[in-house]
Structure 1
Amino acid sequence: MLSSLGVVHTTQQSRALTAQLEQAQRYRDELRYEQERLLLERGAWSAYSRIEQVARERLDMRAPTPGERILVRSGR
């Protein structure tokens, strides 16, 4: 009788721990996805800021003033 109660308890504990493990693995996968998304976003922003920096420093470029802007209409 005692050993059968031990088996039932152990089985129940194993199921609970398996459920916790699966939940932790899902959370880990969500965090990995978020990390990849953030790394891509950081790469995009750093590339843009690097281009802007090179344009300003090496090529002496700047944004045009409103008086220097020319609007071109599309022929469509």
Structure 2
Amino acid sequence: MNLRLFGLSLLFLAVIGSALGVVYSKHHSRGLFTALQAETEVRDQLNVEWGQLQLEQSTWATHGRIEEVARGRLEMTLPDARSTVILLE
């Protein structure tokens, strides 16, 4: 009888331990999933910002913008035909 009671007690403890392990595992996986969702949102926001920065860079690098800065801030002008020298090989 004592051996049977010991076996049942051991089985009961194993079932309780297994149940606690399942609860812990489920809680941990939910926490990881929440962290994954947050990181996915950050990634999406960074992708949007990256696209906006690429668009801004292409806007600043247009020929019209470069010519505007050269004429306005740097006071550069196109040389006239008399100042142009063509070199031939």
Percent sequence identity is 7
Larger Rg: 2
1:1-76 equivalences under 5 Å are: 1-59=5-63, 60=65
- Equivalent position amino acid for 1:35 in 2: E
The alignment of Structure 1 onto Structure 2 pairs a total of residues equal to 61
Distance 1:3 1:48 in 2: 67
Question: Which stretches of structure 1, 4 residues or longer, exceed 4 Å deviation after superposition?
Answer: none
Asked which structure has the greater RCO (Cα within 8 Å, sep 6+), the reply is 1
Q: CA RMSD in A?
A: 1.4
TM normalised by structure 2 equals: 0.63
Q: Which runs of 5+ in 1 are unaligned?
A: 62-76
Structure 2 gaps of 5+ residues are 67-89
TM-score calculated relative to the size of structure 1: 0.72
Deviations 1:16-70 (A, max 9, x none): 1000011011012101211210111000110111111111123427xxxxxxxxx
Structure 1 letter corresponding to 2:47:
G
Give the Cα separation in 2 of the matches to 1:57 and 1:7. 74
